[in-house]
Every structure is written in C-alpha cells, then in structure tokens.
C-alpha cells in the first residue's frame, strides 16, 4: 500500500519538466499492471487536486489524469479512506506532531491504510519521519528509479 504526496500532480501538469511527467506516466502505467495499491483520503487536498486535473484544458494533462482516475476508481488499485477510517486507526500523537501541518492528512492516511510506503519530494516530511521505524518514507526519485526500472 502506497501513499503518494502531491508531487504526482506537479509531475502530471509538467511543472517539474517533461522527463518527470514521463516517469510519472510510466509509474502509473506500471502501477495499473502491478499488485501495488495506493491509499487516498476522500475529500482531502490530494483528491481535490486530482479532481482539478480533469478541468485542465491541456490535453496531455487530461490524458494522464484519466490514467490516474482509472486507478483511483478501481478498488483493486486504490483504497479510498473515509474520515471514519482515520478515526478507527488513528496516527499516534507524536507522528501528527512531527508532520508538517499541510501533510498531517497524509500521515493519517498512511496509518489508517496500514501503508507500506510514503513517497514524497518534501524534505521536511521526509526528514520528520526518516528515523521512525513505523513510517517508511522515500523520496520520489529514489522510489521511481527502482519502480520503473523493474
């Protein structure tokens, strides 16, 4: 189970360059074929940004967004958590305190989904959890270098 922070949307929109977009498309395509699954929190900043991609005029963004949404809407590829799920399996207080405010929902998602990996580009988020045993955080580039080369 993977939790992915918002770098995904910046890549899809091409804000990080064409090569990053291509890597992300390769990852999403591979994810569709793999046994891996993502977890997202319903009505979170993440899902709102995913919805915003569908309103873009750029055809490339919309095409990649359709690929992303095909994963989100497939229950074998994506677990969509509800607020009740977050309450049922709450993140420890010290994890909430360690997380940057804008990323608390990602940590809550990680714990509630019993995720295996949190993939980020955020150094603050990465560093806050790098020494913890209960949250495995990896940088986007490190993860994708392994994931799309397999």
Mean pLDDT by runs of 10 across the 150 residues of the chain is 96 95 95 95 95 92 94 96 93 93 95 96 92 92 83
The pTM assigned to this predicted structure is 0.93
Q: Would you report the helix, strand and coil content of the chain in percent, each value rounded to 5?
A: 55, 10, 30
| Alpha carbons 110 and 144: distance in angstroms, whole number | 19
**At 5, phi and psi to the nearest 5?**
-80, -170
Q: How far apart are CA 34 and CA 64, in angstroms?
A: 18
> Which residues are CB-neighbours of 109 under 8 A, at least 6 positions away?
3, 39, 40, 41, 44, 81, 86, 115
Domains of the chain, each with CATH number or no CATH: 2-147 (3.40.50)
**pLDDT value for 150:** 57
Residue 147's pLDDT is: 82
Residue 3 contacts residue 118 (beta carbons within 8 Å): yes
pLDDT given for residue 146 in this prediction: 86
Classified as helix, coil or strand, 131 is coil
Q: If you write DSSP's letter for every residue of 12-79 in order, what string do you get? A: HTTTT-HHHHHHHHHHHHHHHHSS--EEEETTSHHHHHHHHHTT-S-HHHHHHHHHHHHHHT-TTTEE
């Amino acid at each position: 189970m993977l939790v992915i922070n918002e770098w995904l949307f910046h890549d899809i929109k091409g804000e990080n360059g064409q090569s990053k977009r291509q890597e992300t498309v390769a990852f999403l395509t591979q994810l569709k074929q793999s046994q891996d699954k993502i977890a997202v929190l319903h009505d979170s900043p993440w899902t709102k940004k995913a919805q915003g991609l569908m309103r873009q005029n750029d055809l490339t963004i919309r095409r990649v967004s359709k690929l992303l949404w095909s994963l989100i809407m497939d229950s074998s590829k994506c677990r969509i958590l509800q607020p009740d799920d977050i309450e049922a399996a709450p993140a420890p207080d010290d994890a909430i305190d360690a997380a940057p405010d804008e990323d608390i929902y990602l940590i809550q998602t990680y714990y509630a989904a019993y995720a295996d990996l949190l993939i980020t580009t955020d150094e603050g988020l990465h560093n806050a959890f790098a020494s913890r045993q209960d949250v495995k955080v990896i940088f986007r580039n490190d993860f994708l270098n392994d994931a799309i080369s397999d």
